[in-house]
Structure 1
Amino acid sequence: MRTSIATVCVSGTLTEKLNAVARAGFDGVEIFEQDLLASPLTPEQIRARATDLGLELFLYQPMRDVEGLPAEAFARSMRRAEHKFRVMRRLGTDTVLVCSNVSPQACDDDALAAAHLRELAELAEEYGIRVAYEALAWGRHVNTYEHAWRIVEAADHPALGVCLDSFHILARGCDPAGFAAIPGEKIFFVQLADAPLMGMDILQWSRHHRCFPGQGDFDLAKFVRSVVRSGYDGPLSLEVFNDVFRQADSGRTAIDAMRSLIALQEAAGVRELPAAIAPTGIAFVELVTMDTEPVTLMLRALGFSRTGKHLSKPVDLWEQGAARVLVNTEPATGGSGPHLAAVGLESPDPGAAAKRAESLGAPVLPRRRARTDVLLETVAAPDGTELFFCASGRQDLPDWLDDFAAVADPPSHSGPVTGVDHVALTQPWHQYDEALLFYRSVIGLRPHGGIDVPDPYGLRRGRAVSNGDHSVRIALSIDPAPGASHRASQHIALATDDIVGAARRIGDAGHVLPVPDNYYDDLAARHVFGPGELRTYRELGILYDCDERGQFRHFYTTTVGDVFFEIVQRDDGYAGFGEQSAHVRLTTQHARSGSRGRS
């Protein structure tokens, strides 16, 4: 099906919007009236520009408050409509969106509304234009698609049909199965938006919190399947209003939008893509730093041993249990402070995973490599973190570990770490929804429920994604601190089966983040512990949480550059991330950093 997006979805001038939309690969656009009015280009010039870019102008919108008005007000609406029809003919677009009336003057009279819409359609037909009538969720008298269709059906004019908008329909809890009652040829246009489920005024919800498909909680796949079954064969168009997209880079937003629409078509069964190849584990995490000493001291304290050196690059391999950390000192990879730059994802089929990524607008990154280096497919997440599709220890696929020569460094004493539990990535505020969609659609991970964690400077919004058996977990969040670097809260959570032994070892080296006594006083009030258990936690800086499935004990290291470690012990199927104590960690880190922008 053809793809479209409303110009209101992206930032910039109308010309910038059209350029961004065309580069992202859309077939066409809805021209939002305010974008036209603010443009210095004539309608003819806009039409020519769209044609040059390969874009069709599918829709002009919105026309408001037309039907069900007193005679004098309706006459004014018709004069306004005729002017818009002339503009549309100059633009070369043949469909106009008419929203259900919200005016206090509107009458609750379906027969009058039908008569007015028929008269409007008769005028539109003279200009070669069709009228797509849409029920706004907050319409004064018409606020469901079923009601809008009854009026259109009563008006009975070939130039009059309905526009089905997923937000207006799903926000009111209406069932898309009812589309079957509408002939496909009478569905003139389809608009799509997702949204998080929120208990708030529906108009404010619509204006500020719509998002692209896959970034919210609506069942848009069912919506699209119902539209297709009705016989509709027109464009699927995105119409999203929120405060983030209006401020974000138009090019990134358009690519994110196209990715969401492609993934939605796949989910609805109307488009085939290379199959999603969910990762099966974390092969490695990569730290970049020009000063290796602080990182080396931390890794040795954690029990890691330096086991390999890259054959052609200044990269060292550190291992413990199933956990691997790469330390990269290549100057071209970033600044001097240690930060988390890349994650290696174990993949059953790295090549197929890369094809999937490319089909969703995430092309494989070019990388400098020696002729003998193993070729690793790599894509960039929205925050710039590089994701490698890897195969470790496979006989049938190139093994990235073959790029490392063994080193003779003396190993550390046997450490407490068994593997990587999860990776936590803090996102730029305007890329959080984009990141969620990326990991869901491109990487093939499943989202968990969202959370809000108190932070010294606001609420930290967060959501985790994981594969089916939770061997890959990535926790995404937004740092609310003003001017914060999104890398400031990135950390690596390492698994252990001996949290007390790990805390003693790392605490003796002076690397455990201290925890206030008040936290443990509260724990005593909320939980029942065995003899001496809470005293041990207090002494060692261990935090505690539990759910209906099990317990979670964890502690944090001090921060090195822009990264820190968390040591965790999950017992009996605990599924969370210690959210109940996250605010203690955040507050302590902010206090120790002495800066609002670091955590």
Structure 2
Amino acid sequence: MRKSIATVSLSGPLAGKLTAIAEAGFDGVEIFENDLLSSPLAPEEIRRRAADLGLSIELFQPFRDFEAVPPGILAANLRRAEHKFALMERLGASRLLVCSSVSPDTVADDALAAEHLRLLADRAAAHGIRIAYEALAWGRHVDDFEHAWRIVEMADHPYLGTCLDSFHILSRGSDPRGIEEIPAEKIFFLQLADAPPLTMDVLQWSRHYRCFPGQGGFDLAGLVGHVLRTGYAGPLSLEVFNDVFRQADAGRTARDAMRSLIALEESVAQSPAGAAELTRPPRPVVPTGFAFAELATPDTGRLSGLLTTLGFTRTGGHPTKPVELWAQDGARILLNTGSAQSAAGPALSAIGLETPDPAGAVERAESLLAPVLPRSRAPHEAPLDAVAAPDGTELFFCRTARPDHPSWTDDFTGVPGDLAEAAGITHIDHVALTQPWHYFDEASLFYRSVLGLRPDESLELADPYGLLRSRAVATTDGTVRMALNVAYVGAHPGAPDTPWQHVALGSRDIVATARRLNAAGDLLLAIPDNYYDDLEARHDLGVERHRTLRELGLLYDRDPYGEFLHLYTRTTGRVFFEVVQRIGGYRGYGAGNAPIRLAVQHAPPAVSARS
């Protein structure tokens, strides 16, 4: 299906928005009136520019507060409409969005509203323009799509139809099944926006918190399915009001928008309402585990001692790149002293993901506009393709030690380091990636659509300097888990603008691991005694177990499925390690303990140390 986006969804001047929209692959555009009014380009120039870029102008919007008003106001409204019709002819737009009135002058009279809209459609027809009437969720008298449709049906004019907007429908909790009662030819336009679940005034919700499909909590695939069952064949158009998007790079936002529509079409195509013309990208290749975590570091000395204490052994070096491989059981850490991020490191720069089909994973990523990264490779080295995540983290698709695919581990040669005594670490449990604040929603959609990970609800966690926003994404079986966190906005002494990242290592016996790390010296965060006093009040774990947790600096959490024990190392550069043990079927990340960890990390050592 044709794909469109409203210019209000992007930042910058109108000419730049059109370029970004075209470069992202959209077919059409909705011109938002304010963008036109502030542009130095004449409507004819905008029309030519859009045509040169291969964009059709699908809609001009909005036209407000028209219907069911006294005669004097109606005359003024019709005069205003005639000016807009003339403008639209110059612009080359053949559809005008008319919003249900919010004016105090409008009255609750459906017959009068229908009469006025019929009159408007008559005037529009003379210019070859169709009127798409939309119910605003905060309309004074018309605030749901079924009411708007009844008025359109009553007006009975061929140049008058309805515009369906997912936000106005779903934010009110309306049942979208009623859409199927509307004839396809009377659905003149479909606008789409997602939104997070919030309890607030719907107008403020709409103006500031809309997002692209797949970034919020609405069932957009279900709604689009109902629309397609009517036979609707118009464009799928995004109309998103969002404070972050309006400040972000227009090209990046447009690509994110296109990715959201591709993923949405894929979801609808898999439903009973799926249509042949919907986009069907290559199927997602869901990762099956972590192959490695790569840390960019100016030298290996800053981390090699900590890794050795954690039970890792240096198993070899790369023959053509300044990279070392450290391993313990199924957990592998790469130390890269040649990365662009090395000087500012240590920093988590890349993640290796185990995948049953590396080539298919790359093809999927490309179809969803994820950039494939160039990589130099010697003839004897294993193929290892990577794509860039929104925050710049490199994601490699691996098949480790499998007979049907060259293993990247075979590239590491040389004399291994001294064999370390294993510390019970078995695998990488999860990684935490801190996102720039304006990439957070983009990252959620990226990992969901490109990798097939399932997002949890977004959380806000108390931090000494504000709130930390976090959202986890994971495979269904939990073999790959990532926590996406928002970086601080601006730097201050307690919250530097180089955000922390961490790698969580799974242990088969975290008590033994903790004893080893405590014996090695001052490596772990010192958890305040107050935490353990509160823990004893909240959970009766037995005297001995409580004593062990307190002595070793272990934190505790539980959910309906099991228990969770974890600890944190001190930070080196931007990176720290977490060691975790999941008991039973625990599904979380110990989020309730994050405020304790953050407070200790911010505090001077003398304040944070336990007595």
TM-score surpassing 0.5? yes
> Within the alignment, does 1:342 sit opposite 2:358 as a pair?
no
Q: Work out which of the residue numbers 541, 551, 564 in structure 2 matches 1:552.
A: 564
Matched to 2:438, the amino acid is: H
Matched to 2:140, the amino acid is: R
Paired with 1:257 and 1:420, the residues of 2 have a C-alpha distance of 32
SS of the aligned residue for 1:405 comes to coil
Q: Work out which of the residue numbers 363, 368, 375 in structure 1 matches 2:383.
A: 375
| Match in the other structure for 2:253 | 253
Question: How far does the alpha carbon of each residue in 1:482-532 deviate from its partner, in whole angstroms, 9 at most, with x for none?
Answer: 346675221000011211111121122221111111111111111112222
Paired with 2:396 and 2:90, the residues of 1 have a C-alpha distance of 50
| Match in the other structure for 1:571 | 583
Paired with 1:62 and 1:372, the residues of 2 have a C-alpha distance of 60
> Within the alignment, does 1:295 sit opposite 2:313 as a pair?
no
Give the count of matched residue pairs.
Answer: 594
Paired with 1:152 and 1:485, the residues of 2 have a C-alpha distance of 56
| Match in the other structure for 2:133 | 133
Matched to 2:317, the amino acid is: K
Taking structure 1 as reference, are residues 531 and 232 closer, same or farther at Cα in structure 2, changes over 3 Å only? same
Q: How does 1:522-541 map to 2 (within 5 A)?
A: 522-541=534-553
SS of the aligned residue for 2:315 comes to strand
Paired with 1:591 and 1:398, the residues of 2 have a C-alpha distance of 47
| Match in the other structure for 2:273 | none
SS of the aligned residue for 2:246 comes to coil
Q: Work out which of the residue numbers 453, 458, 462 in structure 1 matches 2:461.
A: 453
Paired with 1:548 and 1:103, the residues of 2 have a C-alpha distance of 51
Matched to 1:524, the amino acid is: E
Matched to 1:526, the amino acid is: R
Task: State the TM-score, normalized to the length of structure 1.
Answer: 0.97
Identity %: 60
Instruction: Report deviation, 1:572.
Output: 0.8
| Match in the other structure for 1:597 | none
Taking structure 1 as reference, are residues 486 and 473 closer, same or farther at Cα in structure 2, changes over 3 Å only? farther
Taking structure 1 as reference, are residues 485 and 161 closer, same or farther at Cα in structure 2, changes over 3 Å only? farther
SS of the aligned residue for 2:359 comes to helix
| Match in the other structure for 2:16 | 16
Task: State the TM-score, normalized to the length of structure 2.
Answer: 0.95
Instruction: Report deviation, 1:371.
Output: 2.6
Instruction: Report deviation, 1:415.
Output: 1.7
Indicate if the aligned counterparts of 1:339 and 1:487 stay in contact, CA closer than 8 A: no
Q: How does 1:137-156 map to 2 (within 5 A)?
A: 137-156=137-156
Q: Work out which of the residue numbers 493, 513, 524 in structure 1 matches 2:504.
A: 493
Paired with 2:148 and 2:424, the residues of 1 have a C-alpha distance of 64
> Within the alignment, does 1:391 sit opposite 2:399 as a pair?
yes
Q: How does 1:211-222 map to 2 (within 5 A)?
A: 211-222=211-222
Instruction: Report deviation, 1:398.
Output: 2.0
| Match in the other structure for 1:352 | 360
Instruction: Report deviation, 1:459.
Output: 1.4
| Match in the other structure for 2:472 | 464
User: Unaligned 5+ residue runs, structure 1?
Assistant: 595-599
Paired with 1:414 and 1:249, the residues of 2 have a C-alpha distance of 47
| Match in the other structure for 2:114 | 114
Deviates more, 1:324-333 or 1:99-108: 324-333
Indicate if the aligned counterparts of 1:262 and 1:271 stay in contact, CA closer than 8 A: yes
SS of the aligned residue for 1:395 comes to coil
| Match in the other structure for 2:38 | 38
| Match in the other structure for 1:102 | 102
SS of the aligned residue for 1:84 comes to helix
Indicate if the aligned counterparts of 1:291 and 1:336 stay in contact, CA closer than 8 A: no
Indicate if the aligned counterparts of 2:325 and 2:334 stay in contact, CA closer than 8 A: yes
Taking structure 1 as reference, are residues 486 and 319 closer, same or farther at Cα in structure 2, changes over 3 Å only? farther
Question: How far does the alpha carbon of each residue in 1:82-141 deviate from its partner, in whole angstroms, 9 at most, with x for none?
Answer: 100100000001000000000111100000000000000000011110000000001011
| Match in the other structure for 1:437 | 445
Paired with 1:61 and 1:209, the residues of 2 have a C-alpha distance of 20
User: Unaligned 5+ residue runs, structure 2?
Assistant: 270-277, 607-611
| Match in the other structure for 2:262 | 262
Matched to 2:531, the amino acid is: Y
SS of the aligned residue for 1:97 comes to strand
Q: How does 1:392-407 map to 2 (within 5 A)?
A: 392-407=400-415
Paired with 1:75 and 1:591, the residues of 2 have a C-alpha distance of 67
Indicate if the aligned counterparts of 2:489 and 2:497 stay in contact, CA closer than 8 A: no
Taking structure 1 as reference, are residues 593 and 74 closer, same or farther at Cα in structure 2, changes over 3 Å only? farther
Paired with 1:433 and 1:589, the residues of 2 have a C-alpha distance of 26
| Match in the other structure for 2:274 | none
Q: How does 1:484-523 map to 2 (within 5 A)?
A: 488-509=499-520, 510-523=522-535
Instruction: Report deviation, 1:591.
Output: 1.7
| Match in the other structure for 2:272 | none
Instruction: Report deviation, 1:465.
Output: 0.7
Matched to 1:298, the amino acid is: L
Instruction: Report deviation, 1:187.
Output: 0.5
Deviates more, 1:329-338 or 1:42-51: 329-338
Instruction: Report deviation, 1:370.
Output: 2.0
Q: How does 1:188-227 map to 2 (within 5 A)?
A: 188-227=188-227
Instruction: Report deviation, 1:404.
Output: 1.1
Paired with 2:21 and 2:565, the residues of 1 have a C-alpha distance of 48
Instruction: Report deviation, 1:178.
Output: 1.2
Q: Work out which of the residue numbers 320, 324, 330 in structure 1 matches 2:328.
A: 320
Matched to 1:105, the amino acid is: D
Indicate if the aligned counterparts of 1:478 and 1:486 stay in contact, CA closer than 8 A: no
Matched to 2:136, the amino acid is: L
Question: How far does the alpha carbon of each residue in 1:59-101 deviate from its partner, in whole angstroms, 9 at most, with x for none?
Answer: 0000000001111111111111110010000000100000000
Indicate if the aligned counterparts of 2:568 and 2:579 stay in contact, CA closer than 8 A: yes
Instruction: Report deviation, 1:406.
Output: 4.8
Taking structure 1 as reference, are residues 481 and 507 closer, same or farther at Cα in structure 2, changes over 3 Å only? farther
SS of the aligned residue for 2:419 comes to coil
| Match in the other structure for 2:168 | 168
Paired with 1:368 and 1:486, the residues of 2 have a C-alpha distance of 32
Question: How far does the alpha carbon of each residue in 1:192-250 deviate from its partner, in whole angstroms, 9 at most, with x for none?
Answer: 00011111111111111100000001000011111111111111000001111011111
Deviates more, 1:450-459 or 1:143-152: 450-459
Indicate if the aligned counterparts of 1:427 and 1:486 stay in contact, CA closer than 8 A: no
Matched to 2:540, the amino acid is: V
Paired with 2:419 and 2:482, the residues of 1 have a C-alpha distance of 29
> Within the alignment, does 1:419 sit opposite 2:431 as a pair?
no
SS of the aligned residue for 1:161 comes to strand
Deviates more, 1:20-29 or 1:404-413: 404-413
Paired with 1:486 and 1:470, the residues of 2 have a C-alpha distance of 31
Indicate if the aligned counterparts of 2:474 and 2:481 stay in contact, CA closer than 8 A: yes
Question: How far does the alpha carbon of each residue in 1:467-495 deviate from its partner, in whole angstroms, 9 at most, with x for none?
Answer: 12101000111134534667522100001
Matched to 1:506, the amino acid is: L
Paired with 2:349 and 2:512, the residues of 1 have a C-alpha distance of 29
Question: How far does the alpha carbon of each residue in 1:518-552 deviate from its partner, in whole angstroms, 9 at most, with x for none?
Answer: 11111111111222222221221111111121111
Instruction: Report deviation, 1:336.
Output: 3.9
Matched to 2:448, the amino acid is: R
Taking structure 1 as reference, are residues 336 and 477 closer, same or farther at Cα in structure 2, changes over 3 Å only? closer
Indicate if the aligned counterparts of 2:316 and 2:417 stay in contact, CA closer than 8 A: no
Indicate if the aligned counterparts of 1:278 and 1:445 stay in contact, CA closer than 8 A: yes
Matched to 1:84, the amino acid is: K
Paired with 1:243 and 1:535, the residues of 2 have a C-alpha distance of 49
Indicate if the aligned counterparts of 2:341 and 2:347 stay in contact, CA closer than 8 A: no
| Match in the other structure for 1:582 | 594
Instruction: Report deviation, 1:331.
Output: 4.9
